[in-house]
Structure 1
Amino acid sequence: MKNNIQKSIILGQLIGKYLTHSESAKEKEVLDDWLNEIAENKELLHSIHSDKNLAQEYETMGLFNKDQALNRFKDRILLKSKTRALVRWKMAASILVLVGISSVLYFMPPNFFKTPPDFSTQHEETIRYTSFSTENGQSAKVVLPDSSIVWLNSGTTLSYPGGFSGQNRKVILSGQAFFQVTRHNNYPFLVHANDLIVTVRGTKFDVYAYPEEDETAIALESGKVELTHQKISSFSYAMNPGEKATLDLTDNTMNIDLIDVAVYSSWKDGKLIFRNSTMGNVVEKLKRWYDVDIEIVDSEVYNSIFTGTIRNESYEEIFRLIGIACHVNCKIVHNYEQEAKPHIIISKKQ
């Protein structure tokens, strides 16, 4: 009985990975063997996969309220089933799929099911990547298969290979994310961010790596991480808690600062904290935070200093306060006809 339960859980995990396109080549073989055992197996998987309404259930946060989701799942399967045996099969599968998907994914952003790029090959096979993305003005919390937690800031994409488990704990980041990595002494966790590789075993840290910017920054809250460079073999630095390492991508020079990481990473708690920040730095963050276009027309405004905390205020209120605090004019232009983003023009006061 125990072996049957264990086998059923493993099967549920395979189905969950199949539905989220994260199964490895070996896992696909196992699933194919199961599908070929009896006709009912294929009918079961086809029924689950072809139900568009059911697919939408996977793409909502309600899926992870397991009691409600399981009840919805059971109700739909009961309506679609015509024999008692098939009901029993599908009821069991509903539980297994929920268990399987829960082990793969905790939070699924709305645009999760997109085709990720092929990053590399291994053993002459193309590695399939699972990607999570947030648009500007959005944020997300993701739980990886190893139970590590990742918070994604606005305009960020996190990708990991379908075989993410055991010794292969590697992710690729474009944007900004805060990581809380589950400790495993034998299997390090690797973050590829632009040209930097962050190697950790169990720690909390922030990675800032937007592709359109000229710098990549790592801020370490606790534990230790090692930084290496994909193109420079001699590049290596072991960070300590409270440090922020900033790599200039134009000349590969690195600067180390002592910071309050909790303040630096406050975005994951739904707020932005600025302490003596230049307007240039503030503007870059607010563009993504509010999904607006910002134009600074006077160069000296870039060096204006702003200190403040942004929580749930509207962008109209924030730029009104910035205008007062920094003695600048902030003009908001709306183009409702073209449904364009709000455009904020910042200039010095005459």
Structure 2
Amino acid sequence: MKAEKEHIDELIVSYLSNELDGNAVHELKEWIAASVENEKYFMQRQEIWFSAISDMKNSIYNKDEAFQLFRKRVDTYQKNKMMRKRLRWKIVYKYVAFISIIGFISYFSYWRGKSNLKNVLTETGIEVETPIGSQTRLRLPDGTIVILNAGSRIIYPQNFGVYNRDVELQGEGYFEVARNIEMPFYVKTKELQVRVLGTKFNFRDYPEDKEVVVSLLEGRIVLNNQLQREEELLLLPNEQVILDKRVKTMKKEWKRDGINIEWITGRLFFDEIPLPEVAQILERNYGVRIKFANDALKKIRFYGNFNKNGQSVRDILEALSATEKVHYTLNDKEIILY
């Protein structure tokens, strides 16, 4: 039994590291589908795995190091589980009758509603959130690379890659999707859904933004408007779609100079964008609050290219002030533009 669990753990780790061949993937999927207990075991181990790699000290991913951390986390989990079990047995005699009734009901609930139980487990998601002023890089179980911008988050099912590859996004994310013809990759927000097989694209949809912007670097993607019924749009490299949240329509355009995703390297590129958009970007990346002394300033557009890792918010404000169209006051984390 122990040897079998160790074998399954090795399969799970290899799968989450995207190093499992076709036959082994089939073996793992058959084992997961064999019982609800196996599915719960897989989801539990997946959570432990992601917890382990998130604590890795090195920025470069190392499977061996990650596996050792995984084993330590599993041992700690088992010890805590045994302690909780011993504690429960100290008081369990008080509730034997009650638990027996619940167990009886649960058995028949499971027997009559196995598919419903499976759906509950499937819908339980893993959430990854990036704080203001930070970026998060993660690797999904299918090998897809995701970089989340400041103030963003994604949610995906615990059994991601087993039955589907569905992701919910809030904010901005850059995706390098691992190709899988049999299982499309979906990214969805309240306003827009993207369907892909394997490609590289950027998806920005912050709740406070007036527009949703999806930009394609490689491959093909299909976009579906979630605000109103509209024909699907096919996007090709160097094209982007802008969904206006107010009028609820999509517009496709071709980017002559290519798609700019410098934010994933820590650069802030302002290409003649309105000052309110500049303010939002600075707020997310530096954790500040920006107020406008008058609405006339909101019509001003700004061009600039900065390195967030080497330049402070004051450096950018000084560049704004150098235009002689905008001045500022900076008090701790609060900025007033006038």
CA distance in 2, matches of 1:304, 1:138: 27
- Look up the match of 1:212: 208
- Look up the match of 1:343: 334
Q: Once the two structures are superposed, what CA deviation does each residue of 1:194-220 show, in whole Å capped at 9, x if it has no partner?
A: 221100111111101112223211111
SS of structure 1 residue aligned to 2:323: helix
Is 1:322 the counterpart of 2:320 in the alignment? yes
Is 1:246 the counterpart of 2:242 in the alignment? yes
- Look up the match of 1:93: none
- Look up the match of 1:29: 37
Which letter maps to 1:324? Answer: A
- Look up the match of 1:62: 57
- Look up the match of 1:255: 251
TM-score by length of 2: 0.69
Which letter maps to 2:146? Answer: V
- Look up the match of 1:104: none
Which letter maps to 2:196? Answer: V
Q: Show the 5 A alignment for 1:188-337.
A: 188-230=184-226, 232-259=228-255, 264-311=260-307, 312-325=310-323, 327-334=325-332
Query: 1:219, 1:261 within 8 Å by CA — same for their partners in 2?
Result: no
Q: Give the deviation of 1:303 after TM superposition.
A: 2.1
Unaligned 5+ residue runs, structure 2?
16-31, 76-115
Q: Which moved more, 1:260-269 or 1:134-143?
A: 260-269
Q: Once the two structures are superposed, what CA deviation does each residue of 1:118-149 show, in whole Å capped at 9, x if it has no partner?
A: xxx88552511011110110101110111010
Q: Which moved more, 1:233-242 or 1:155-164?
A: 233-242
Q: Give the deviation of 1:6 after TM superposition.
A: 8.7
CA distance in 2, matches of 1:151, 1:130: 16
Q: Percent identity?
A: 27
Q: Show the 5 A alignment for 1:93-108.
A: none
Query: 1:275, 1:307 within 8 Å by CA — same for their partners in 2?
Result: yes
CA distance in 2, matches of 1:306, 1:77: 52
Query: 1:226, 1:238 within 8 Å by CA — same for their partners in 2?
Result: yes
Q: Give the deviation of 1:73 after TM superposition.
A: 8.0
Q: Show the 5 A alignment for 1:81-100.
A: none
Q: Once the two structures are superposed, what CA deviation does each residue of 1:313-332 show, in whole Å capped at 9, x if it has no partner?
A: 01112111111135311110
CA RMSD of superposed structures (Å): 3.7
Q: Give the deviation of 1:11 after TM superposition.
A: 2.7
Which letter maps to 2:56? Answer: M
Query: 1:141, 1:152 within 8 Å by CA — same for their partners in 2?
Result: yes
Query: 1:167, 1:188 within 8 Å by CA — same for their partners in 2?
Result: no
- Look up the match of 1:97: none
SS of structure 2 residue aligned to 1:61: coil
Shift of the 287–298 alpha-carbon distance from structure 1 to 2, 3 Å rule, reads same
Aligned residues between the structures: 274
Q: Give the deviation of 1:166 after TM superposition.
A: 4.5
Q: Once the two structures are superposed, what CA deviation does each residue of 1:73-117 show, in whole Å capped at 9, x if it has no partner?
A: 889999xxxxxxxxxxxxxxxxxxxxxxxxxxxxxxxxxxxxxxx
SS of structure 1 residue aligned to 2:57: helix
Query: 1:220, 1:261 within 8 Å by CA — same for their partners in 2?
Result: no
Query: 1:195, 1:229 within 8 Å by CA — same for their partners in 2?
Result: yes
Which letter maps to 1:343? Answer: E
CA distance in 1, matches of 2:117, 2:242: 31
Which letter maps to 1:161? Answer: P
Which letter maps to 2:316? Answer: I
Query: 1:287, 1:293 within 8 Å by CA — same for their partners in 2?
Result: yes
Which letter maps to 1:276? Answer: E
Query: 1:14, 1:31 within 8 Å by CA — same for their partners in 2?
Result: no
- Look up the match of 2:106: none
- Look up the match of 1:155: 151
Q: Show the 5 A alignment for 1:41-60.
A: 59-60=54-55
Shift of the 260–143 alpha-carbon distance from structure 1 to 2, 3 Å rule, reads farther
CA distance in 2, matches of 1:263, 1:32: 41
Which letter maps to 1:344? Answer: I
Q: Once the two structures are superposed, what CA deviation does each residue of 1:7-60 show, in whole Å capped at 9, x if it has no partner?
A: 73423455999xxxxxx89675127799xxxxxxxxxx9xxx8xxxx9986542
Query: 1:138, 1:154 within 8 Å by CA — same for their partners in 2?
Result: yes
Q: Show the 5 A alignment for 1:134-145.
A: 134-145=130-141
SS of structure 1 residue aligned to 2:166: strand
CA distance in 2, matches of 1:133, 1:28: 29
Query: 1:183, 1:201 within 8 Å by CA — same for their partners in 2?
Result: yes
Shift of the 284–27 alpha-carbon distance from structure 1 to 2, 3 Å rule, reads farther
Q: Once the two structures are superposed, what CA deviation does each residue of 1:225-248 show, in whole Å capped at 9, x if it has no partner?
A: 111133544431111211221111
- Look up the match of 1:92: none
Shift of the 290–134 alpha-carbon distance from structure 1 to 2, 3 Å rule, reads same
